[in-house]
Structure 1
Amino acid sequence: MQTELLETFLEIARYGSVTRAAESLFLTQPSVSGRLRALEALLGEQLVIRSTRGVRLTDAGRELLPHAAQVVQAVRDGETALRDLRAVRSGTLLIGAAPAVSTYYLPGVLKQFTTAYPGVAISVRTDHSEEILGMLLADQVQIGLVRSLEHPEVEVQPCYEDELVLVVHPSHPFFERAAVSLAEVALAGLVLFDRTSSYYELTRGLFRGSGLDPMTVMELDNIEAAKKMVEEGLGVALLPRVAVAREIALDTLAAVSIVDAPTVRRAIVAIHRRGAGPGGPARAFLHLLRDQSWRSSQSATLGQRSLLAARPTTIPT
């Protein structure tokens, strides 16, 4: 059955008039009448009754109406899906990401994305979360990966939760300890990074909350530099777990728990303009992020017992 026959029937039912249906479809009245007759002949049923006051549906027409609407909508949805698929195969994806997200989280996600959609051109801009929000609102990026924030023109999709962990060189005295106090950390020689980042404020706030002024041995302008200094034994640092997961696994750094400090976490989210939502590559990328988030939450739940049984590697509550 040709979809246009059902679309014509729906317009006639909507307006109760062949003339108005013809106007809405940009067709002549004889063309609309011809389509209606063709549909009635195909189904072997009279669908409408004409009168001087317009057109009304027969019992058969009323029975057909919801099914016709479903068929037409399904076809339209299919056409949209195919357009999105074609766009994904050859479109452009514009991403804005906070520095730590861009460096430590995004590469793994983009590896999966480019494997699935090798024809998509990708552009990534890195800046702090507030600047990424501005890029999104200016339509300079389609998706932002930032710390959790709110804006009336933005929709938010959770990605993952990161936390600050105390890391030390394996030769550091803290390495042999089951746990240390925050006061001890304050005297250990702290390596800080990027005064303009929220991580810096989270670190400072942790000590301020306990009335401590940590001894700082140096300040760097990025996480990677701070991490390298700790790897050389030049101090200790509170760094995002996502940034040091590889070094902890390779034993070039060790994570040490702090017994009297709250867990310092930061939610990372994907943001996009509020409304119909992005299409093409951006929509596919959001679907991938949603799948990643679900898998991460499942892994965290399944791994909780083993983490508790292992050597502490987080800042406990």
Structure 2
Amino acid sequence: MEIKQLRYFKRVADAGSVSRAAAALSVAQPAVSRQIANLEEALGTPLFFRNGRGVKLTEAGKQLYAHTSEILEAVRHAEQNVRDTVGVAKGTLLIGSTPTVIRYLAPPLLRRVARTHPELDLEFTEGFSGYVNEWLSNGLLDVAILHDATRTQHFLTEPLLREELVFVSAAASSDRELGPITLGEIATCRLVLPRRSHGLRLLVERTAAQAHTALSVAAEVDSVEAIKAMVRKDNVATILPRGAVSPDDHLLVRSLRDPSLSRTLILATSSQRPVSQTTRAVIHELKSVVRELVDEELWPGAERYSERPPIYTPKGAVAAGVDRPLAEPPQRLV
């Protein structure tokens, strides 16, 4: 087996299609098919079932897939450790966060890193904070930006910024001038929210519980775009970061009061392995980009968070204002 074959194999398995995997890899489809065929020949067994709608893993393919992420992660770390010894930020680094964060952060950060560290390749992946937490815990990410209500077991974290949360409902011409809305008024609405494993839902429900207010959750959906589509068509409302809603969404956005609601986004890396020189370089650029976006008001509803030392969160603790720093906390991420 070759490393390239395993990388292509994982891409095809994740995409469920050779053509989609080829597009993601920016290579020709025949090249991907050839690598998969060579891998199957080397192992002496088919790894995929082929059909008109794509591909599915065979039992042998499932066995190989179970080891692939760990193998590729070990190779990537070995490559990065060797590159760090020569003092140049290079290689591939994966950042994961929520859809809103990726929407505002990825384009300017990619441009900046291409200019300052041309030998470094950045990749981004998005998901609700519960998923991002799991990916970082499993070693699939180098850097994560998480919600502060998310469990952060064995992470090095530091606050990055605050995001305002707003009430979002279907827009009507008579609603354009409506002011802030209270939690009591929201309790009369049917809501669509992410599932309880994600930070946004945890924060909303914790705030409601503190106010002794029961919310009516009509549906649980782990997709920002799907949530907004339901708000437009299905007589439901939601609570989202202000930056998640644009004028093109044609939705009504109202500030919250009694209480107002915001979330802190935290920068996180795993404390289970050293932070490489390349990761430190990217974190430095990331924080600079965030400051520029907030100061120039290019990230709606975001404000800078005053800097403080990173926190080591013991297993089981929740980083939501109850973190317990060690007597001698680890060094800053940058």
TM range (shorter): 0.5 to 0.7
Corresponding residue for 2:267? 270
Letter in structure 2 aligned against 1:238: I
Corresponding residue for 2:291? 294
Counterpart CA distance in 2 for 1:169 and 1:82 is 55
Residue pair 1:168, 1:175 contacting (<8 A) in 2 also: no
Instruction: Deviation per CA, 1:103-157: give whole Å up to 9, x if none.
Output: 5544543344345545433344445556645654654432222223786964334
Query: Which structure 1 segments of 5+ residues have no match?
Result: 1-79, 305-317
Residue pair 2:169, 2:231 contacting (<8 A) in 1 also: yes
Alignment of 1:102-181 (within 5 A): 102=102, 105-114=105-114, 116-117=116-117, 119-126=119-126, 129=129, 132=132, 135-136=135-136, 139-148=139-148, 154-171=155-172, 174-181=175-182
Matched, 1:252 2:253: no
Residue pair 1:193, 1:219 contacting (<8 A) in 2 also: yes
C-alpha distance 102-192 of structure 1, shift in aligned 2 (>3 A): same
Counterpart CA distance in 2 for 1:294 and 1:128 is 23
Counterpart CA distance in 1 for 2:222 and 2:142 is 27
Counterpart CA distance in 1 for 2:274 and 2:218 is 50
Counterpart CA distance in 2 for 1:204 and 1:153 is 25
Length, aligned pairs only: 215
Counterpart CA distance in 2 for 1:173 and 1:201 is 32
SS state at 2:197 partner: coil
Residue pair 1:144, 1:271 contacting (<8 A) in 2 also: yes
Letter in structure 1 aligned against 2:160: C
Counterpart CA distance in 2 for 1:191 and 1:166 is 11
Residue pair 1:164, 1:264 contacting (<8 A) in 2 also: yes
Letter in structure 2 aligned against 1:292: V
Instruction: Deviation per CA, 1:75-119: give whole Å up to 9, x if none.
Output: xxxxx999433x43xx11122334553455445433443455454
Counterpart CA distance in 2 for 1:215 and 1:293 is 35
Letter in structure 2 aligned against 1:272: T
Letter in structure 1 aligned against 2:220: E
Which shifted more, 125-134 or 229-238?
125-134
Residue pair 2:165, 2:256 contacting (<8 A) in 1 also: no
Corresponding residue for 1:279? 277
TM-superposed CA distance for 1:187, in Å, is 1.4
Alignment of 1:204-243 (within 5 A): 204-232=205-233, 234-243=235-244
Letter in structure 1 aligned against 2:254: V
Residue pair 1:168, 1:230 contacting (<8 A) in 2 also: yes
Instruction: Deviation per CA, 1:56-82: give whole Å up to 9, x if none.
Output: xxxxxxxxxxxxxxxxxxxxxxxx999
C-alpha distance 170-108 of structure 1, shift in aligned 2 (>3 A): farther
SS state at 1:257 partner: strand
Counterpart CA distance in 1 for 2:250 and 2:214 is 28
Residue pair 2:167, 2:181 contacting (<8 A) in 1 also: no
Query: Over alpha carbons, which structure has the higher Rg?
Result: 1
C-alpha distance 213-114 of structure 1, shift in aligned 2 (>3 A): same
Counterpart CA distance in 1 for 2:264 and 2:242 is 12
SS state at 2:213 partner: coil
C-alpha distance 176-283 of structure 1, shift in aligned 2 (>3 A): same
Query: Which structure 2 segments of 5+ residues have no match?
Result: 1-82, 302-334
Q: Which runs of 4+ in 1 moved over 6 A?
A: 149-152
SS state at 1:277 partner: coil
TM-score, with length taken from structure 1:
0.55
Percent identity over the alignment is 23
TM-superposed CA distance for 1:165, in Å, is 0.6
TM-superposed CA distance for 1:197, in Å, is 0.8
Residue pair 1:230, 1:237 contacting (<8 A) in 2 also: yes
SS state at 1:263 partner: coil
Instruction: Deviation per CA, 1:23-62: give whole Å up to 9, x if none.
Output: xxxxxxxxxxxxxxxxxxxxxxxxxxxxxxxxxxxxxxxx
C-alpha distance 236-111 of structure 1, shift in aligned 2 (>3 A): farther
